[in-house]
Amino acid sequence: MKRTVLSAAILLLSGMALQGAAQAASDEPIQPIKPPASINVGMVELGKKLYFDPRLSKSGIMSCNTCHNLSMGGTDNIPTSVGDHWQQGPINAPTVLNSSLNLAQFWDGRAADLKAQAGGPIANPGEMAFTHTLAVNVLQSIPGYVREFKMVFGKDKIDIDQVTLAIAEFEKTLVTPNSRFDQWLLGKKDALSKDELEGYALFKDSGCVACHNGEAVGGNSFQKMGIVEPYKGKMSDGRAAVTGKDEDRFNFKVPTLRNVEMTYPYFHDGAANTLTEAVDVMGRLQLGKKFTKDENAKVVAFLKTLTGDQPNFTMPILPPSSDATPRPTPFK
């Protein structure tokens, strides 16, 4: 009997210890990024070519990579993008890195997933200015693509769903694990400096983490821009454009802070050039908190630990057009 009680007590204590360890990890409001799983490699290789192919634009010079440049944090690093005929875009191009972790795509969440997003810019008259039909016609005229689509999808005929599915599959691989912060989360306790850890403590204690949490440190909710004070920059309807509800005005998808050191300028209008400025504005407008210079620097130091492994692949070589391929019309 005594022995049974003792065994039970030991079992219970072991269980508690294990649970305690598990809790220590899950206690943190940010989780490490996991490398992608369930990836279709053939579809990724096809999607990579399409992502870099400017023949999906009317002009023949704009590809997904033009505004979501994978050499530069998956963005174009300008306030708003340049579209066909040098049109000025209405909103800052969000990073494609880790975008598979977003609850929806675009600042206003109007696309449910990456596949739905991928078709948008191709047919947007202010962006790539093409049509889905014309884009498919171009691809169908290129023998190298016809073969590769057939290998991946098993069909002779290319359609826009295959195109956007392949681009989305490639984009799923664009996660950035192994940041110094994630190394710290995963147990490398010397991965962060004292200042960076103090910055993380401030990030949590001040309330930033209320919106910027989870695997992507954001991307998982819509929130109002200007909770405590109104935003003084350029405004757009935000989420209300999708829901039609007045209470969603000025609501935007919370951007991921992963690789934020590379995704300047900040906010929906790209008005903040530096992290120092962005942290200051966010503190005041969203939290009613004026960070001191020292606090601001520490939060920025923490944010810079969120830069993970960047995309690492061989630049794709695109299959050449054939005599039958419709030519781009950049100046019409």
Q: Active-site positions?
A: 127
Nearer of residues 14 and 88 to a second copy, judged by Cβ = 88
Nearer of residues 55 and 268 to a second copy, judged by Cβ = 55
State which of residues 78, 116, 235, 287 lies at the interface with a second copy (CB under 8 A). Answer: 78
Q: 244: alpha, beta or left, given left = phi > 0 and alpha = psi -120 to 50?
A: left
Rounded Cα distance between 266 and 135, Å, is 32
Rounded Cα distance between 109 and 127, Å, is 18
For 49, counting Cβ atoms within 10 Å of its Cβ (0-12 exposed, 13-18 middle, 19+ buried), the class is buried
Q: How far apart are CB 34 and a second copy at their closest, in Å? A: 21
Contact track, a second copy, 262-301, x by CB under 8 A = x-xx-------xxxx-------------------------
Helix (H, G, I), strand (E, B) or coil at 39: coil
Using an 8 Å Cβ cutoff, are 68 and 74 in contact?
Answer: yes
Residues near 234 by beta carbon (within 8 Å), at least 6 away in sequence: 269, 271
54 near a second copy, rule: CB under 8 A: yes
DSSP state of 93: P
66 near a second copy, rule: CB under 8 A: yes
Q: How far apart are CB 116 and a second copy at their closest, in Å? A: 26
Span 309-328, contacts to a second copy by CB under 8 A: 310-318, 320-321, 323, 327-328
Cis ω for the linkage preceding 265 (within 30 of 0): yes
The structure tokens listed for 296 are 């601001």
Rounded Cα distance between 14 and 76, Å, is 52
Size of the site for a second copy (CB under 8 A): 45
Rounded Cα distance between 258 and 30, Å, is 11
332 near a second copy, rule: CB under 8 A: no
133 near a second copy, rule: CB under 8 A: no
Q: How far apart are CB 7 and a second copy at their closest, in Å? A: 56
Q: Which residues bind a second copy (CB under 8 A)?
A: 52-55, 59-61, 66, 69-73, 76-78, 81-82, 85-86, 88, 261-262, 264-265, 273-276, 310-318, 320-321, 323, 327-328, 330-331
